[in-house]
Structures are given as C-alpha cells and as structure tokens.
Structure 1
Amino acid sequence: MATKTLAGKTVEVDEEGFLVNPDDWTEEMAPLLAEQVGIYELTDRHWEVIRFMRKEYKERGQIPTVRRIKNVGGIPTKELYELFPEGPAKKAAYIAGLGKPQGCV
C-alpha cells in the first residue's frame, strides 16, 4: 500500500489517493487534499458538506450519496456541483478522508 504525508502525518492511501483508514484524517489535511483535486479554497459551505459526510460515515458506516447529502444534509444538488465540480460525491469523500463512494468511476 502506498503512503502519503499530509499535515505532518504519514497515512496509507489506495491507488487513487483515497485514505485507507478514515480515522487517520484530520481537518488540517482537508485543504491539502482539496488542492489535489483542484479546489483551492474551502468555504464554510464546503466544510458543512465535509463534516456532514464524516458524521454520516461514523453513524451509518456508509459514505453518503449525492442524494443523501441533498435530502438529509440539505445541500441542493446544483450547489454540490458548484462546490465540488466534476464529481461531488467522489471529491467530497476524498477531501473528507473517506474511501471512494460506491458507483464512482
């Protein structure tokens, strides 16, 4: 398994760079991960999505879908695509230190 150093911590990552263990993630890593997927500033709204995803994962053991982020998290789909262009579920999960969502290519 490959490793990557983020915010002074070495973590295991899969072949696409997703953290293998979500418990290794810290909020300090999020801006660094965001830059790697082309997002150079995390707004309060980005953080709302990131924290929602981590909370859902912790409580349900599943990475939330775009539909769940919209329906339960209250973030409209259009806004998700503006915040995380070209694949909001995949990019948000990556930044949140979660695995690749099922169904994402």
Structure 2
Amino acid sequence: MTMAIDVPLDGEGFLVNREDWSEEIARELAAADAFEMTEQVMGYIREARAMYDENGVVPPIRKFAKKVKVSTKDLYAIFKKGPMKLICKWGGLPKPTGCV
C-alpha cells in the first residue's frame, strides 16, 4: 500500500502509533482500501474516537450505532464488511476484538 503520508502500519493496515492519526491520514487509509471518505463516515470516525477516549475500549457496534443514531444495518450498508473494523482502522484505533 502506497500512501502519500509515511506512518508505520501493521500487517493489516492499522496505525502502529495512535498519535500518528489525523483526518488526512484517515482519508489516505480509506483510499488505500478503495473507499472514498465522506463527511458522514468521518463523523462516525470522530464519534468512535471520542467513545474510545472516554471508555478506553472500541465501542461494540450496537452501542456505537445507538450513539450515532443509525441502525447496524445502515452501518453495514456503508461499510459492507465489518463497520467497526474499518472505523477503527481508518480512525487510528486498536483492532476491535470479539463480536463488535
């Protein structure tokens, strides 16, 4: 994966250092996954980051969907596979574990 911004990524494309994250990097990571970042998706990323900062854990998808006032079905329609995984990946958050 070639990005205009040089930041360390793990084997799955997640940021190694959370402090490296910026909205520009989020757009680059999404583009590397052939996804065009929208303001709606960036809003989801900002909310997930805020929830992570507040609780120290990646929010489960149901809790996240309720917070952003969308259905989990809507999130899957936007992200196709693993909404929380992509939100975390592009948002510089740790990989979600278990059933999120």
TM-score interval (norm. to shorter): 0.7 to 0.9
Task: Note the residue ranges of structure 1 that are not aligned, 5 or more in a row.
Answer: none
CA contact (8 A) 1:93 1:101 kept: yes
Q: Does residue 38 in structure 1 map to residue 34 in structure 2?
A: yes
CA contact (8 A) 1:30 1:96 kept: yes
CA contact (8 A) 1:7 1:28 kept: no
CA contact (8 A) 1:21 1:98 kept: no
| Higher RCO (CA-CA < 8 Å; seq separation 6+) | 2
Name the counterpart of 1:49. 44
d(CA) in 1 for partners of 2:89, 2:52: 13
- How many pairs does the alignment contain? 99
Name the counterpart of 1:77. 72
One-letter identity of the residue aligned with 2:30:
A
One-letter identity of the residue aligned with 2:83:
P
More strand by share: 1
Q: Does residue 86 in structure 1 map to residue 81 in structure 2?
A: yes
Identical amino acids, percent of aligned pairs: 41
d(CA) in 1 for partners of 2:86, 2:46: 14
Per the normalisation by structure 2, the TM-score is: 0.84
Deviation at 1:6, TM superposition (A): 5.0
One-letter identity of the residue aligned with 1:88:
P
Q: Of 23, 30, 33, which aligns to 1:27?
A: 23
Q: Which runs of 4+ in 1 moved over 6 A?
A: none
